[in-house]
Amino acid sequence: MLDKTKYHIPEHVGIIMDGNGRWAKKRALPRSIGHKFGAQNFRKITRYISKTGVKVLTLYAFSTENWKRPADEVSALMVLFKQYLIDSLTDFREDDIKVVFIGDRSAFDPKLIELINESEEVAKDRKGMLLNIAMNYGSRDEILRAVKELCTEASEGKLDPQNITEKDISDRLYTGGLPDPDLIIRTGGEFRLSNFLLYQSAYSEFYSTETLWPDFNEEAFDKAIIEFNKRNRRFGGV
């Protein structure tokens, strides 16, 4: 465990969980097996991060673009997601982790939506780390939805378009009211945000690791925090 007296722990961390398919391919296994092991690691690493002092963790689980993947892979992901939702009714209870789902849930099966709502209801009064699970999430779609909401309010005379602020936009995003991410971690070695928290991450530090998501363990997370502490965050200043 990181020494909190030695390292500054970011308040909000976002993680792009990449590499499940490549992890499976390296072992001559179906991609669905990679997703299964990735889901298992998700629980383990979330519990560890909650103990480090991180207040908000946002995990990119399924993007709006992921529907383009082969049907059998999407189906396997939905099965895993449903099982997680069933487990989540008791999952993270002892850790006091509050679970919230961000993204457009309307695309999911009605029973899946019901499970999402029930999972959030069960966890709503927990006081520990907030876990945002981004499902059917795309940042451009999120921003578009926020703009449409502002336009509607302006057309109804509820606000003056000339007085719209950055906060007004932020408040209408899925992460409204939360601090912007201090650190974005991407596993799997890629160096792109892939439509993840584009507005919120304007001044986030970005950290990429070659480690594939199923292998991203406590030590790998600690390395990201140590690297984060080497950064000089100027937020546009000198």
pLDDT at 94 over 90: no
Tell me, yes or no, whether 7 lies in a domain: no
Tell me, yes or no, whether 98 lies in a domain: yes
Tell me, yes or no, whether 53 lies in a domain: yes
Tell me, yes or no, whether 188 lies in a domain: yes
Q: Please give the positions annotated as active site.
A: 18, 66
Residue of 84 and 74 predicted with greater confidence: 74
For residue 224, what is the domain's CATH number?
3.40.1180.10
The pLDDT assigned to 3 comes to 79
The pLDDT assigned to 234 comes to 80
Chain centroid to Cα 65, Å, comes to 15
Question: Tens digits of per-residue pLDDT, 19-58?
Answer: 999 999 999 999 999 999 999 999 999 999 999 999 999 9
Tell me, yes or no, whether 151 lies in a domain: yes
pLDDT at 15 over 80: yes
> Alpha-carbon distance 171 to 173, whole Å?
6
What are the Cα distances from residue 82, in Å, to 47, 97, 211? Answer: 20, 19, 27
Tell me, yes or no, whether 58 lies in a domain: yes
Give the three-class secondary structure for 17. Answer: coil
pLDDT at 238 over 70: no
Split into its structural domains, the chain has a count of 1
Tell me, yes or no, whether 237 lies in a domain: no
pTM over 0.75: yes
- Angle subtended at Cα 181 by Cα 197 and Cα 136, rounded to the nearest 5 degrees: 30
How does strand 56-63 pair with strand 12-16? parallel
pLDDT at 218 over 70: yes
pLDDT at 237 over 90: no
How does strand 12-16 pair with strand 205-208? unpaired
- Nearest one of 235, 221, 192, 181 to 7, comparing CA atoms: 221
Range of the domain at 64: 12-228
Question: Tens digits of per-residue pLDDT, 112-158?
Answer: 999 999 999 999 999 999 999 999 999 999 999 999 999 999 999 99
**Residue 189 phi, psi (nearest 5):** 85, 0
pLDDT at 90 over 80: no
Question: Tens digits of per-residue pLDDT, 146-204?
Answer: 999 999 999 999 999 999 999 999 999 999 999 999 999 999 999 999 999 999 999 99
- Nearest one of 186, 194, 195, 234 to 213, comparing CA atoms: 186
231, 205 Cβ separation under 8 angstroms: yes
Tell me, yes or no, whether 64 lies in a domain: yes
pLDDT at 85 over 90: no
- Nearest one of 182, 177, 171, 132 to 12, comparing CA atoms: 182
Q: Which residue has the tokens 């995003």?
A: 173
> Alpha-carbon distance 76 to 58, whole Å?
22
